[in-house]
Structure 1
Amino acid sequence: MTQDPAFTGPFSAPSRRDLMAGGAAVVGALAAGQASAQPAAPTKARWRRWNVASPEGKRALASYARAIDIMLKLPPEHPYNWYNHALTHTVDCPHGNWWFVVWHRGYVGWFEQVVRKLSGDNSFAFPYWDWTANPQVPAEMFQGVLNPSTYPGYIQSLDAFNKTFGPVLEKFWAGLSNDQNQQLLIRGLRFPADLIFDIGPKGGPMFFAPPNSRGSTPQRPGFDDVTNRAVSSWMLDNALAPRDFIGFASPKSQFHSSITGFGVMEGQPHNKVHNCVGGIWTAPDGKTTYGDGFMQSNLSPVDPLFFLHHANIDRIWDVWTRKQQGYGYPTLPDDNPNYLNPRGDLGQWRAEPFLFFRDSDGKPLPAAQQVAGAYETIGAFDYDYQPGSGENVVPPPRPGPKLKAAVAAKPQLFTAKLKVPSPASLASGDVAVPQALLSQAAKTGGPKLLATLTVELPPFEHGHDLAVVVNTPESEAVGVNSPGFVTTLSMFGQHLVTRPVTFTVPISPPLAKLATAKGLSAAAPSSGLNIRLMRLKPPLLSNAASSHDHGAPSGATRAEPELLGVEVHAY
């Protein structure tokens, strides 16, 4: 069901005269086909998403800036008011599950058409920020309306935001369809006051007033060390290694507002770029400062960087899809109906309702475009990408007939024997990986080892990153540049976690670093792998007046994170 078209709240349809004239493509109906390799996309799309560093990407930024300036000036009840559109992400975005990539493709794709219309640039497509090739905020994003910390057109205080959007949200809630209301109830949003509370300082914070609307600055446009690792070429190669959709896109869930876990791509570059640009900064000694910035929150689309970041995430999904097609591997969840789940994984995934998207006129979408399956391919959004980082995994075209769909060879699987916590570790596990495999994995171009840790987190623990280290004695001090340091486990946004969550991280590159620093025997001992979960340093707050750490108040819970399992997959 769609929202009542007569309603004029934040997610309603405006009259055509409210929007500037321009063309708009319409996404087609559900894509048919199997879970196996899909037909290759047309070689030339109508629109191209360019690297923001290219001349074409910079020209697209100018059109983007024109559109943002218009949207900031629209009435607050207008569906394409800049903050109104960001609220779609706040109330409905999935993170930590297998709908993460497909929901954001629809969200960015429909909004791209709005920017095309409002800017008057019919050639517009979102430029992407290739943070692997350029690990710092592009200089242009600190200029004019592209910088929410300095441009006067942004709302200047939380109080002003609440006064402006409180009445708008009341009208929005009054116009919800029953299905939309049920979706919000799943997220614990009963009425507007719940959302206002979540956005405010006690529930979030999600709103960050200028001059603290973005953590990154012209003086410090780059990333901290853990984020540099997260966007590195070796991390990207490992993120693209899985041969099945769930391994790449994050784990299964029953509904798209539930967090179950993070694949390498979502848990590392996606989450860490959001958090670092949003003001969360980890020093080399492990101390973390929790500063301010929209990008760390579920209101992250208020920062124009959001759409450049997510264009790159979508580009990486496209790279992975073309890799799968090149090898004849599946590109979608398994088509495996059974008596417990008659639809199977593919049917369940395709049918998930996305009820808050709007077309380029601000109108509710037809039913066929209110489900995940409408966005499983780029489809009638009809864009492609200027090649960027990660293309090395796509096999070159081969002569002769195309490969038939193949069942991806399952990776080798090794399960850890868990050990009790110690003063130096929250928990650890020993994994009996053969020494010969470890030796090969520690070499450039060797097998890729991905470890999946299942962790039970206290409700607010996600504000404090936990570190993963491999084959490092407990007596040895560990920092983010230590040879055995793997990465930290980062959540994103203000999603409450009440169940075990999985994190998948790459192990092979740290093993290679260990082999260089301490010798191959340290990286590939006969005993196999020891994987530890630990805290590097307690959180360090930025200042007493305005700091926040996304953690529970003292006394709210005394629970500690618990490691429930470790599995290692070898690709």
Structure 2
Amino acid sequence: MTRDSTPAEAGFSMPSRRALLAAGGAAAALAAAGPVASAAPPAKARWRRYNVNSPEGMKALESYKKAIRKMLALPATDPNNWYRRALIHTIDCPHGNWWFVVWHRGFVGLFEQTVRLLSEDPDFAFPYWDWTADPKVPAAMFDDVLNPNNSAYIQSLDAFNSQFGPVLDTFWKTLTSQQNQQLLIRGLRFPADLLFDIGPQGGPMFFAPPNSRGSTPAKPGFDKPTSNAVSSWMLNEALSPRDFIDFASPKSNYHSSITGFGVMEGQPHNKVHNCVGGIWTNPDGSITYGDGFMQSNLSPCDPLFFLHHANIDRIWDVWTRKQQALGYPTLPADNPSYVDPLGDLKRWRREPFLFFVDVNGNPAPPAQQVAGAFESTAAFDYDYQPGSGENVVPKTLSGALRRPAPAQAFVGRLQAPGSTSLGVAEVTPPPALLAQATRPEGPTSLLATLTVDLPPFEHGTDLAVVVNTPEGEPVTLDSPGFVATLSMFGRHIVTRPITFTVPISRPLARLRAAGGAKAAAPSALTIRLVRLGPSGLKANTGPHAMHHADTGATQATPQLLNVVVHAN
């Protein structure tokens, strides 16, 4: 495959490399399950994406810099201009639904072909940033144009608007009716709407040097919630689902809507974006609001975006190979019915992605304007150097196609919120199940899905989940019952309740261990939703400009509507 050839559609093609820590339970005959790729050993991929800290990864960064310099120097009228390619993400990226992983695979893969062309490096492939193994911004990403604070980048919002305002006017005139409909879903009627969203009143999305990235060479690491989100135990939990929708975020009717966040998207993806983008949680639970492209829908303006998303894509590939090895479905279920004649798989595959461009910046061909074109790494003929998470992939492949045993589900009973809670739910799984789930490295994984009704602009204030912690007892980020923080990403307006899924087995195991060797397993679960604040995890009522909801627009506060605990 040449650097500008049309990607072929084929099955997943990655060999398993390491042993499984713990496999899922019993399996039944396959019924209405999504397809699984062939268990036959695949041919070697043409390109390999290496860890950024490897010699090959560092070599790739040199080619990446060469291409970035060229793209930054192109006029705004050129579709391969650096900011023009980033704007595709701004106007079309899905977050909080089951098209999140596949849209970003297509976006990164097509852009990788352009970098390969402009760098004149036929072997170029994006290196990935394995933040589980290396939880800090790689030092090389502060060098030259790999740092968006470099002088080659646009130095002010006024300069950005003067360059891209006329270009967007021309671009809008070329839109098809279908593209216009896609933009209307996002409230983008004409270029002025987009520029308003990018500017400080609607966003901010544009961050001028020296504030284009929140992380600095002196402070490249993560805050505690982000360190928690990228940890090996969180990654294992993110890889634990045995169903595509549970892994990839929930179903939605169209890719511009937010339905909810699975563990992978809601934890490492969202937290890394916001932390590197300058939103920092202090040890006392208060939040410092800095600046940086990575917190916004213009995040591809920071070259780090593509290394971050290469790792997200790598994790999807690890999960896929785990599913293949166990004989489990790798895609949504092929389940047409009287109610839905298409079924999940066809509906997912046919979703239109109408703003992708090819290696030369021209509109992508029709075959690359639907989700199904990017369901496999074979679409761009690449694989990955092994990294974190490989432990979940069995060494041997299952010869049979089967459906995993369904996860057990337990619905919580909502309680009246207390003095430090936005919502409380009591859940009572069977005692034997709780005993298994609260053992360190036990065979049972518990995931809690919280349905939360949020104010429309609930982006910068983290909510937190705690388990089996009494109301009124001081809670910190180090408390045994602390589970995770819930973060939005970007400036998507929230207009309906959404879900967040978080793992609770490890916090329960910590609580049990804190009680001593003879401590009994809990008899029930109390799951609380709270706000981060300077006095532990108490309600934080002070709005912050540009990050919290405008209290003049709405007096709404987050409400917990439902909690369901799933046991795998």
Give the Cα separation in 1 of the matches to 2:11 and 2:179: 24
Letter in 1 for 2:8: G
Give the Cα separation in 2 of the matches to 1:295 and 1:386: 25
Q: Residues 554 and 34 from structure 1, CA distance in 2 versus in 1: closer, same or farther, beyond 3 angstroms?
A: closer
Is residue 340 from structure 1 mapped to residue 339 from structure 2 by the alignment?
yes
Shift of 1:274: 0.2
User: Given that residues 9 and 379 in structure 2 are in contact (C-alpha distance below 8 angstroms), is that contact kept between their aligned partners in structure 1?
Assistant: no
Count of aligned pairs between the two proteins = 539
User: Given that residues 471 and 522 in structure 1 are in contact (C-alpha distance below 8 angstroms), is that contact kept between their aligned partners in structure 2?
Assistant: no
Letter in 2 for 1:101: V
User: Given that residues 25 and 381 in structure 1 are in contact (C-alpha distance below 8 angstroms), is that contact kept between their aligned partners in structure 2?
Assistant: no
Partner of 2:142: 142
Partner of 2:19: none
Partner of 1:500: 497
For structure 1, the residue ranges without an aligned partner over 5 or more in a row are 1-21, 541-546
Letter in 1 for 2:508: L
User: Given that residues 459 and 490 in structure 2 are in contact (C-alpha distance below 8 angstroms), is that contact kept between their aligned partners in structure 1?
Assistant: no
Is residue 457 from structure 1 mapped to residue 454 from structure 2 by the alignment?
yes
Q: Residues 136 and 345 from structure 1, CA distance in 2 versus in 1: closer, same or farther, beyond 3 angstroms?
A: same
Shift of 1:516: 2.2
Partner of 1:180: 179
Is residue 306 from structure 1 mapped to residue 305 from structure 2 by the alignment?
yes
User: Given that residues 512 and 523 in structure 1 are in contact (C-alpha distance below 8 angstroms), is that contact kept between their aligned partners in structure 2?
Assistant: no
TM-score by length of 2: 0.92
Shift of 1:28: 2.5
Residue from 386, 400, 406 that aligns with 2:402: 406
Q: Residues 522 and 280 from structure 1, CA distance in 2 versus in 1: closer, same or farther, beyond 3 angstroms?
A: farther
Give the Cα separation in 2 of the matches to 1:436 and 1:457: 35
Partner of 1:435: 431
SS at 1:89 equivalent: helix
Q: Residues 34 and 510 from structure 1, CA distance in 2 versus in 1: closer, same or farther, beyond 3 angstroms?
A: closer
Give the Cα separation in 1 of the matches to 2:141 and 2:435: 44
Is residue 482 from structure 1 mapped to residue 479 from structure 2 by the alignment?
yes
The superposition leaves residues 402-455 of structure 1 with CA deviations (integer Å, 9 ceiling, x where unpaired) of 522111210111110110112111111000012222222122321110000000
Q: Which moved more, 1:242-251 or 1:529-538?
A: 529-538
SS at 1:453 equivalent: strand
SS at 1:430 equivalent: strand
Letter in 1 for 2:424: S
Letter in 1 for 2:79: P
The superposition leaves residues 18-60 of structure 1 with CA deviations (integer Å, 9 ceiling, x where unpaired) of xxxx832322258799723112572411000000010000000
SS at 1:476 equivalent: coil
Partner of 2:21: none
SS at 1:462 equivalent: coil
Partner of 1:12: none
The superposition leaves residues 486-532 of structure 1 with CA deviations (integer Å, 9 ceiling, x where unpaired) of 01100000000000000000001111211222347878322x10000
The superposition leaves residues 439-491 of structure 1 with CA deviations (integer Å, 9 ceiling, x where unpaired) of 22122321110000000001112321111000001121111111100011000
SS at 1:112 equivalent: helix
Partner of 2:26: none
Shift of 1:548: 4.2
SS at 1:473 equivalent: coil
Letter in 2 for 1:114: T
Give the Cα separation in 1 of the matches to 2:516 and 2:370: 52
User: Given that residues 469 and 533 in structure 1 are in contact (C-alpha distance below 8 angstroms), is that contact kept between their aligned partners in structure 2?
Assistant: yes
SS at 2:529 equivalent: strand
Question: Identity across aligned pairs (percent)?
Answer: 68
Partner of 1:14: none
Letter in 1 for 2:305: F
Give the Cα separation in 2 of the matches to 1:193 and 1:392: 49
For structure 2, the residue ranges without an aligned partner over 5 or more in a row are 13-31, 538-543
Partner of 1:529: 525
Partner of 1:199: 198
SS at 2:6 equivalent: coil
Matches within 5 A, 1:374-385: 374-385=373-384
Is residue 73 from structure 1 mapped to residue 70 from structure 2 by the alignment?
no
Superposition RMSD in Å: 1.8
Q: Residues 177 and 440 from structure 1, CA distance in 2 versus in 1: closer, same or farther, beyond 3 angstroms?
A: same
Partner of 1:544: none
Shift of 1:365: 2.1
User: Given that residues 471 and 523 in structure 1 are in contact (C-alpha distance below 8 angstroms), is that contact kept between their aligned partners in structure 2?
Assistant: no
Give the Cα separation in 2 of the matches to 1:500 and 1:522: 38
User: Given that residues 36 and 406 in structure 1 are in contact (C-alpha distance below 8 angstroms), is that contact kept between their aligned partners in structure 2?
Assistant: no
The superposition leaves residues 252-287 of structure 1 with CA deviations (integer Å, 9 ceiling, x where unpaired) of 000000000000000000000000000000012110
Q: Residues 323 and 396 from structure 1, CA distance in 2 versus in 1: closer, same or farther, beyond 3 angstroms?
A: same
SS at 1:25 equivalent: coil
User: Given that residues 338 and 344 in structure 1 are in contact (C-alpha distance below 8 angstroms), is that contact kept between their aligned partners in structure 2?
Assistant: yes
User: Given that residues 350 and 372 in structure 1 are in contact (C-alpha distance below 8 angstroms), is that contact kept between their aligned partners in structure 2?
Assistant: yes
The superposition leaves residues 365-395 of structure 1 with CA deviations (integer Å, 9 ceiling, x where unpaired) of 2222210000111124000000000000000
Letter in 1 for 2:52: V
SS at 2:412 equivalent: strand
Letter in 1 for 2:238: A
User: Given that residues 10 and 378 in structure 2 are in contact (C-alpha distance below 8 angstroms), is that contact kept between their aligned partners in structure 1?
Assistant: no
